[in-house]
């Protein structure tokens, strides 16, 4: 018998809301629209636009509430349609910088903002060309980081024109304003707090131990391991947070240990989720005897 003691605790930390945009431009002649735009709120797709239809397609029911707010929607729609035109010109200019006269090429722009419950806000903006990093905005230094030599001329031009000042205002004020509107319009969805369902399993004594949390909201989560009360970072594979079909999220952390280590030590898996309202602790005793053991704990509301 190999005995493993696992403790699990779930705290609530400051929630972060996010608004992200993904703009993509491609050279003419392919089956893809020359320009597409996708918007996400807290990791959930709200709407998309493409240059073929010239229309915005709404992906969630609650986004229709924002559609009726003409002032907010007018600003977003104008930003999208302006880039529909600018992206085509920018793609031609980039092809010249790379000495390209033909072929299939892609320009991507990912940007957005984040807002914490305590009022802290952040913005980000990065460009990619043909699948590689091209130019990144650093709001801390008010400069652009050139990832390749071809992006240096654009970096200098934008910095001399103080384009970063416009970007800062857009990301930290306009974008944040839109995000606040989204959150306010659908507080029941975006500000809901859903506790995770947690599974711990191990196929046999030589297999990794998996801590899997699913069904939680919001997206922000951190899973950590401890060995005999000390933080453990080695032999830990923390996977990315993935969406579920119902709008919640899932994440897992995999700990690789030898049977001897499992027998002689106590290991703790901790997960930080949601907003700070309290703490709950659950205790598990896992007996590994060459069979699959699955233990599930779910924090029930009101307990």
Contact in structure between 289 and 263 (CB atoms under 8 Å): no
Residue 169, classed as helix, strand or coil, is helix
Quote the longest CA-to-CA distance of the chain: 70
The partner residues of 212 in beta bridges, in order of sequence, read 199, 252
pLDDT of residue 222: 74
Separation of alpha carbons 226 and 279, rounded Å: 18
Residue ranges per structural domain of the chain: 2-14+193-298, 17-189
Query: In which element (H, E) is residue 18 found?
Result: strand 16-26
Within 10 A of 274 (CB to CB), how many other CB atoms are there?
23
Question: What is the structure's pLDDT at 298?
Answer: 34
Q: Is the separation of the CB atoms in 142 and 168 below 8 Å?
A: yes
Q: What is the pLDDT of residue 208?
A: 87
Pairing of β 197-202 and β 293-298:
antiparallel
Closest to 209 in 3D by CA, of 147, 140, 266: 266
In the prediction, which pLDDT does 226 show?
81
Rounded CA gap, 190 and 60, in Å?
12
Partners of residue 154 on adjacent β-strands: none
Token code pair at residue 249: 């999220």
Looking at residue 13, the DSSP 8-state letter turns out to be -
Which pLDDT score is estimated for 57? Answer: 77
> Are 2-14+193-298 and 17-189 the same fold in CATH?
no
DSSP state of 174: I
Per-residue pLDDT of the chain (303 residues; tens, 9 = 90+): 334 444 444 444 456 889 999 999 999 888 889 999 998 888 877 788 898 988 877 766 666 666 665 466 667 777 788 888 888 889 999 999 999 999 999 999 999 999 988 889 999 999 999 999 999 999 888 899 999 999 999 999 999 988 889 999 999 999 998 888 887 776 555 556 677 777 777 877 778 888 888 887 767 677 778 888 888 888 888 888 887 877 678 888 888 888 888 778 887 776 665 443 323 333 333 333 222 333 333 333 333
DSSP letter at 120 equals -
* Domain 2-14+193-298: top CATH class: mainly beta
For position 138, what pLDDT does the model report? 93
Cα→Cα distances 278→39, 176, 273, Å: 33, 28, 11
- How many residues appear in the chain? 303
pLDDT given at position 155: 95
- Of 3.30.500.10, 3.40.50.1220, 3.40.228.10, 3.30.390.50, the CATH number of 17-189 is 3.30.500.10
User: H-helix or E-strand containing 87?
Assistant: helix 70-97
Q: What is residue 170's DSSP assignment?
A: I
User: 281 phi and psi, to 5 degrees?
Assistant: -125, 140
Query: How far, in Å, CA of 43 to CA of 189, rounded?
Result: 12
Q: Which residues, 6 or more positions from 84, have their beta carbon under 8 angstroms from its beta carbon?
A: 35, 37, 49, 51
């Amino acid at each position: 018998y190999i005995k493993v003691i696992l403790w699990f605790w779930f705290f609530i930390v400051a929630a972060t809301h996010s608004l992200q945009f993904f703009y993509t431009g491609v050279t003419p002649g392919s089956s893809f629209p020359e320009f597409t735009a996708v918007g996400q709120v807290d990791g959930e797709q709200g709407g998309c636009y493409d240059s073929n239809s010239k229309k915005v397609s709404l992906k969630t029911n609650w986004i229709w509430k924002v559609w009726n707010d003409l002032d907010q929607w007018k600003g977003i729609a104008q930003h999208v349609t302006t880039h529909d035109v600018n992206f085509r010109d920018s793609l031609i200019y980039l092809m010249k910088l790379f000495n390209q006269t033909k072929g299939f090429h892609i320009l991507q722009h990912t940007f957005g903002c984040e807002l914490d419950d305590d009022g802290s806000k952040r913005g980000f903006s990065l460009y990619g060309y043909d699948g590689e990093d091209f130019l990144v905005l650093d709001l801390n230094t008010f400069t652009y980081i050139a990832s390749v030599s071809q992006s240096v001329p654009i970096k200098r031009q934008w910095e001399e024109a103080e384009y970063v000042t416009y970007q800062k205002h857009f990301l930290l004020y306009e974008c944040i304003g839109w995000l606040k509107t989204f959150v306010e319009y659908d507080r029941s969805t975006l500000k809901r707090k859903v506790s995770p369902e947690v599974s711990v399993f191990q196929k046999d004594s030589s297999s990794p131990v998996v801590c899997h949390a699913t069904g939680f909201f919001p997206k922000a989560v951190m899973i950590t391991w401890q060995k005999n009360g000390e933080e453990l970072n080695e032999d830990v594979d923390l996977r990315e947070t993935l969406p579920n079909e119902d709008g919640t999220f899932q994440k897992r952390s995999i700990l690789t240990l030898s049977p001897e280590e499992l027998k002689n030590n106590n290991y703790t898996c901790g997960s930080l989720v949601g907003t700070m309202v309290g703490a709950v602790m659950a205790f598990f005793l896992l007996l590994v005897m060459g069979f699959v053991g699955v233990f599930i704990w779910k924090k029930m509301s009101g307990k």
